Amino acid sequence: MASTEEILHDFSPFFRVLKCGRVDRLIGNVTVPASVDPATGVRSKDVIINAESGVSARLYLPKSIDTGHKLPLFVYIHGGAFVIDTAFSPLYHTFLNNLAAEANIIVVSVDYRRAPEHPLPIAYEDSWDAILWAASHSSGNGQEAWLNEYADFQSVFFSGDSAGANIAHNMAMLAGSEKVEGMHVEGIVLVHPFFWGKTPVGGEPADPESRAFCEKLWLYANPGSSGIDDPLVNPGADLKIWSLGCKRVLVFVAEKDSLRHRGIYYKELLENSGWGGKVEFVENKDEDHVFFLFNPTSNNAVSLVRSVASFINEGKTE
């Protein structure tokens, strides 16, 4: 008789699924509480967005607040292959403290429900729920004082890394078709986005074995998907890509990242789609996937944070 401890699916180094159905998350399990960050003075607190679903978020407010000027609102969606990590991970907590201080923004970091217990498209639905919740404060009468008092709902950005960047893109697509009352989405920031497709692009490997991991991961997280050319994971298959609901996009790729070519392809896709917005592109040399989370004090990580801050505040005057 086979042991129930036998591995059914191995997505190492991220997670494994055992025959008994248990999901062993190998990384991304550590969390830290909201706090006042001693290095930046940024304050954070946790809020419940939907008591029924359990969707929540961590809010970040910078130390320097001018009551006469609202702050750009940055909705961040964490990565982790749709399965690991949370908005309360120390990696994201450090990154968003640094970014909130550098850019002088208010951040809503979304904690969506994760696959496989909650298969896609639930993470997309939860993220959209969080965006609508944030927008409900645009009149100044929402449940969270920080958003009521300090958020500029005419200067909103969606962002994420890896799987979170995938979700952020799809949130911008939704914003293009379902206008959010009281909220203007100025731009999106996609860091090492998880996109894929059946046909290789750029310098991607063509052999099925090399391509199998991403396809298997996608179908495991989203078992109801039409496949790896589902527009949710392959924007090139989306006939309405031109309707992306913002006018500015910033895309980061890392030279050693296997997803690098998809980020380049996404940039070129937008430029040639008839969308009409502006795409900015940054490649970090000698770096791998989400390096900025694991080494936040490195020169390239500091540069990435500054680039995001500059993008958010482009055109603003002191």
Task: Give the total residue count for the chain.
Answer: 318
Q: Mark whether 257 is an active-site residue.
A: yes
Catalytic residue among 162, 192, 238, 273: 162
State the alpha helices, DSSP H only, in 23-162: 90-103, 122-135, 145-150
Catalytic residue among 89, 192, 257, 273: 257
Q: Mark whether 139 is an active-site residue.
A: no
Q: Name the residue type at position 34.
A: A
Kindly give, in sequence order, each residue whose CB lies less than 8 Å from that of residue 204, ignoring residues fewer than 6 positions away. 211, 258, 261, 262
Strands 151-161, 106-111: pairing kind: unpaired
Could you check whether the bond before residue 62 is cis, i.e. omega within 30 degrees of 0?
no
Which whole-number Å values give the CA distances from 15 to 3, 26, 77, 82, in the listed order?
19, 5, 20, 11
CA 164 vs. chain centroid, Å, equals 3
Catalytic residue among 93, 137, 192, 289: 289
Cα 99 to Cα 26: distance, rounded to the nearest angstrom: 27
Alpha carbons within 13 A on the beta-carbon side of 77: 37
Residue indicated by tokens 């130390």:
63
Active site residues: 162, 257, 289
